[in-house]
């Protein structure tokens, strides 16, 4: 996202420029990755805290010293590291997120992730920390996971009104991908198609059935938590209308209630008393809306597919080391090929927005076995994989190899969660140690 330090009153055109500035040439299209994992104690399997000697803050401090990364701080507290355009940051419950500079190929992203994993491993091992490739905390629950000392998270935790918002903030880990666009029309088409695909990809990569040491009855409890976080700022950002535009997306952001704004002396609580449109028109307690305020507001909207100066795809459980690249490969195959995009639109040509909305609520429990109109999600998932693989082969980039992992599951009607549930009641005999080993 574009960042700015200006405190001048924002004009609408300044906001629109955020999105128009994202338009790139076809030769400059790249892929970005945000990859979250759950840090747990190697001994107790409890979530690692922020403050203790073997906590996540000391991990960041030690890793920065060894590998020459710079601190990211909030009121003098270390909340992340940066090196060039790459960052290692903390989610509210100490989840560790790698956010990498976008690359031309998935292979280049994989190389960066594996290099970072190799560099982090000695420090993690010494401190007794395991990073789990899993979608929800398997042992600790939000009641015994404290927020990291970041002002934004404290304000969010007090405001978000969904019954599982604390679970989402403190317990979950996901994979997000970012994709570029060449024009406003292209951005809107990608946004529509990514929204259509989102519940299907969520289902394919479901990987969070065991939470707090028990089977939740959901294949993606992480996805369930997002359904119960804050419906005013989560879910779909539109109804897939063909005439949706940058202006319409801006309206969506501006009509969402404001949680807080930042000023030099600290955050100013708004607590949803006004939306951003009202803030721009009339101000709030003597403060005028700035471009920084809009950027924060847009960042505090959490639709499944979010528009920045790229398209961000957000609703996937963290999974094993192949998961991030398989997710990116599906979307790359489709979103970076106009023919593939049209094939997806044709696949869903008879579907209504209400069908996708209903599916979003059914997927967390049954994943590939959820029904979409007259067929199962697993039937559509196979078609989606076929379209993506054919496109990647035509792109002649070699990225189709990253689909092999998920093909083995999807073509057999399975998700990672299905394998975990089978083992949980079988070989593992509900032994949490076995799960931890499996997702480590």
- What is 308-364 written as a DSSP string? SSSEEE---B--STTHHHHHHHHHHHHHT-HHHHHHHHHHTTT--HHHHHHHHHHHH
Q: Which pLDDT score, from 0 to 100, does residue 402 have? A: 98
- Inter-axis angle of helices 323-335 and 338-347, nearest 10: 90
Q: Round to whole Å and give the CA distance between 165 and 70.
A: 31
Sign of the C-alpha dihedral computed for residues 144, 147, 149 and 155 taken in this order: negative
Backbone angles phi, psi at 401, to 5 degrees: -60, -25
> In sequence order, what are the beta bridge partners of 372?
375
Q: Give pTM, 2 decimals.
A: 0.96
* pLDDT tens per residue across all 440 residues of the chain: 444 344 689 999 999 999 999 999 999 999 999 999 999 999 999 999 999 999 999 999 999 999 999 999 999 999 999 999 999 999 999 999 999 999 999 999 999 999 999 999 999 999 999 999 999 999 999 999 999 999 999 999 999 999 999 999 999 999 999 999 999 999 999 999 999 999 999 999 999 999 999 999 999 999 999 999 999 999 999 999 999 999 999 999 999 999 999 999 899 999 999 999 999 999 999 999 999 999 999 999 999 999 999 999 999 999 999 999 999 999 999 999 999 999 999 999 999 999 999 999 999 999 999 999 999 999 999 999 999 999 999 999 899 999 999 999 999 999 999 999 999 999 999 999 999 999 99
With b meaning 16 or more CB within 10 Å and e meaning fewer, what string describes 355-388? bbebbbebbbbbbbbbebeeebbbebbbebbbbb
What the block records as the tokens of 244 is 């949706």
Q: Which pLDDT score, from 0 to 100, does residue 137 have? A: 98
> In sequence order, what are the beta bridge partners of 100?
33
Q: Round to whole Å and give the CA distance between 383 and 391.
A: 12
| Count of beta carbons in the 10 Å neighbourhood of residue 352 | 12
CATH fold label, 12-439: Creatine Kinase; Chain A, domain 2 (3.30.590)
Domain extent listing, the chain:
12-439
Q: Round to whole Å and give the CA distance between 297 and 279.
A: 11
Q: Which pLDDT score, from 0 to 100, does residue 8 have? A: 86
Closest of 415, 426, 408 to residue 369, by C-alpha: 415
Q: Round to whole Å and give the CA distance between 391 and 333.
A: 5
What the block records as the tokens of 295 is 């950027």
């Amino acid at each position: 996202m574009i960042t700015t330090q200006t405190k001048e009153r924002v004009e609408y055109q300044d906001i629109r420029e955020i999105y128009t500035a994202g338009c790139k040439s076809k030769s400059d299209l790249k892929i970005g990755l945000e990859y979250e994992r759950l840090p747990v104690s190697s001994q107790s399997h409890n979530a690692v805290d922020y403050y203790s000697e073997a906590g996540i803050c000391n991990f960041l401090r030690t890793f920065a010293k060894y590998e020459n990364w710079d601190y990211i701080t909030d009121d003098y507290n270390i909340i992340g590291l940066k090196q060039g355009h790459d960052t290692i940051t903390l989610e509210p419950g100490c989840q560790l997120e790698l956010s990498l500079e976008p690359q031309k190929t998935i292979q280049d992203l994989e190389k960066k992730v594996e290099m970072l994993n190799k560099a982090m491993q000695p420090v993690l091992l010494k401190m007794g920390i395991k990073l789990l490739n899993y979608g929800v905390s398997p042992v600790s629950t939000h009641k015994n996971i404290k927020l990291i000392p970041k002002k934004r998270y404290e304000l969010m935790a007090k405001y978000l009104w969904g019954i599982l918002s604390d679970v989402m903030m403190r317990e979950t880990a996901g994979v997000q991908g970012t994709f570029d666009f060449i024009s406003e029309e292209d951005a809107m088409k990608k946004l529509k198609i990514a929204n259509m695909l989102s519940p299907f990809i969520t289902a394919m990569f479901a990987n969070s059935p065991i939470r707090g040491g028990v089977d939740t009855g959901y294949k993606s409890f992480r996805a369930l938590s997002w359904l119960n976080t804050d419906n005013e700022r989560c879910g779909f950002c539109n109804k897939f209308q063909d005439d949706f535009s940058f202006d319409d997306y801006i309206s969506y952001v501006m009509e969402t209630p404001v949680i807080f704004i930042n000023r030099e002396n600290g955050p100013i609580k708004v607590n949803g008393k006004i939306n951003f449109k009202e803030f721009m028109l009339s101000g709030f307690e003597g403060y005028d809306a700035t471009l920084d305020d809009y950027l924060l507001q847009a960042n505090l909207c959490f639709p499944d597919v979010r528009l920045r100066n790229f398209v961000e795809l957000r609703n996937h459980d963290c999974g094993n080391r192949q998961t991030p690249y398989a997710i990116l490969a599906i979307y790359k195959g489709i979103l970076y090929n106009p023919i593939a995009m049209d094939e997806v639109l044709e696949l869903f040509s008879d579907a209504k927005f209400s069908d996708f909305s209903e599916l979003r609520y059914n997927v967390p429990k049954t994943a590939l076995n959820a029904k979409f109109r007259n067929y199962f999600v697993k039937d559509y998932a196979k078609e989606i994989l076929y379209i993506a693989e054919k496109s990647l082969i035509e792109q002649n980039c070699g990225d189709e190899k990253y689909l092999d992992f998920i093909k083995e599951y999807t073509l057999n009607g399975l998700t990672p969660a299905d394998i975990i549930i089978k083992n949980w009641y079988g070989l593992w005999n509900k032994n949490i140690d076995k799960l931890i080993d499996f997702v480590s």
